[in-house]
Structures are given as C-alpha cells and as structure tokens.
Structure 1
C-alpha cells in the first residue's frame, strides 16, 4: 500500500521503509524535476538544496509536462541537451512548508553540448560496480553531502530500476531537515 499522497505512476514493490509515527499531512503539492547525467554529478551553488550534491532541475512551469521541464532545466542550468529517460517519482514533505515537493526524476548517460558553470560545478564520482577501470581512481558518491534519502533511491537510478517513494522531513533542534519517515518502492530487477 502506497503512503498517502503518492500516486501510482509505475508498478513497484516495497523496497525500503522506515521511521515512526503518522505521515505528515499537506494540502497542496508543487511539481519539480531532477535530471542526472550519470557520469557527471554536480554540486549546486545556489537555490534549493544549496551545497548539496543534486541533479539538474527545477519547477515544472504551467503548460509543460515534467519531461519538457526536465529538458528545459538541463539546458538552462547546464547548457546541454540529453535524451532523458524517466526514472521515478518522489514526494517529499518538509516541516515548515505548506506544500509537498512532487519530483519526477530523469537520467541520461550521454549528452550534447558543453557544460556551463552557472549553477553546477562538474565533479566526477565512481559508480559502484562500474566496469570502467579508471573509475576506481575516482572518489565515491558523496551520499553524506546529499539528501538523506538519496542513499536509498540513487542506487535504483544507477541500476535503471524505476522507483516511487515518499519522505517526510522534520526540523531538528539545529533547524536542519532530517528524514523521519520514508517509503520507497522499486520495479523488479532487470
């Protein structure tokens, strides 16, 4: 059974869940996209998720699909184009906001164009179980500098397994958002 607010966008089986208490409630959602070029993780310099490793993305504008928004954001933020493939959908709610973040994730392995440096600083990371020999000289994916839930769903994205999930974040005593309840589903392994 899916958590409240999570839409059945793909057929998934439970993959990971945790936390205690009830799901937080929200009255509305805002739609966003997040796209990853698998060989080129980036660190955001400004805006939402500042100083966290994240993909290229942003708001879905009125009148466009999430796929169109992902392509547009990739072009605006990085100056590149890619044949993005849908990877999954996540719903996040953070204490202190009046809406949930509905984020559709996309990925590509290749791109065209030259990466610009306005929003993201290109960095290379080793992909777990990579078959490319030189990847062993690269640092590991810095999960400690990503949102807490990324360690759960990012390996699914790398494995090209579609996923669906929800994460609720509460503020701790220092005012930091911490993952307190989550549910993730994934399609069967290929």
Structure 2
C-alpha cells in the first residue's frame, strides 16, 4: 500500500511553444519540467497550481484559464509514496516568466522539446497534452531513470478525478 501525496504540474503554452523550467534544486534537479509542487493541507489543488506557478516563474493565471488536462501517478520501487500529479495547462497568463531560485524558465518550440533532459515518462504522455487530449497515466520506476512499466490512456473527461478539494 502506498502513501498518496498530491502534486501539481502546470504548463504554459501557445500555438507553437511550451514554457518549461530547468529545475535548479531539489527533486528533479537539472531536468526540464513544468511548474508545480506539493499541495499544502490548507489549499485546493487549483490554488496550489496557481501558487507554485507564481513562486517558480513569477507568472499568474486566472483560475478560469487554468485547465486540468491530465492526471499522472508515479511509484518507485522500494519507496512507499505514490505521487499523484494533476497536470494543468494555460494559454493566457500575466507577467513575464522570470528565473527564481528554484526554476529557470525557457520557451521551446513544440518541435524542439528537450526530452533527453526531462523525465523519461514525458516523451510518452506529452503527445496527449500537445494534441489537447485529456489523459491519465501510471508509471512505475526503478530508481529515477528507468520506467519498469506504464499505462497511458486518453480520457473523455477529467470528471472522475474531481473531488471536493479540486474545486
């Protein structure tokens, strides 16, 4: 049995580019990723996504412009935690993405996403996001670089993943 921990992951996008951040410290250091982190006990998932985005790249998004597009679950051999990650996307935002002590943001054309410097699972589920498809994925890792097994499926709706804390 795993201990479920809730996280957020936010991507800013336009028709041709995606904003990624190079992680400068902590879990995932030196990897390109979206912006996000742990959901605190006193906040909703959406509030956590908005807070993490602002903390990590100095950008704000109106609640109505942040769309829940995916749900990912990660487990790691020998570790008791299941990382329950809610994935969000926004195309409308305020502010200029700015480097912080945790992340260094950079826009990438969709044709030049640096998958070789990202988590190995990203290359598997990013195509769903880039085609504006809703998705659910489960990944089981050995260490942090080897995927032992996975399953990703396209969803019609994110409704089954909504609970009171997401509203």
The two structures have a TM-score, normalised by structure 2, of: 0.82
Greater C-alpha Rg: 1
Maintained 8 Å contact 1:92/1:167: yes
Distance 2:78 2:33 in 1: 22
SS state of the match for residue 37, structure 2?
strand
How many pairs align? Answer: 148
Distance 2:78 2:55 in 1: 29
Superposition deviation, residue 182 in structure 1? 0.1
- Structure 2 residue 5 is the aligned partner of structure 1 residue 33: no
SS state of the match for residue 56, structure 1?
coil
Between structures 1 and 2, the one with greater strand share:
2
Task: Provide the aligned C-alpha RMSD in A.
Answer: 1.5
Q: Which residue does 1:63 correspond to in 2?
A: 42
Ranked by relative contact order (alpha carbons within 8 Å, sequence separation 6 or more), the top structure is 1
Runs (5+) with no aligned partner, structure 1 = 1-25, 129-139
The two structures have a TM-score, normalised by structure 1, of: 0.73
Runs (5+) with no aligned partner, structure 2 = 157-167
Structure 1 ranges of 4+ moved more than 4 A:
none
Between structures 1 and 2, the one with greater helix share:
2
Superposition deviation, residue 95 in structure 1? 1.9
Cα deviation per residue 1:7-57 (whole Å; 9 max; x = unaligned)? xxxxxxxxxxxxxxxxxxx42110000001123222111111111110100
- Structure 2 residue 154 is the aligned partner of structure 1 residue 186: yes
Maintained 8 Å contact 2:19/2:34: no
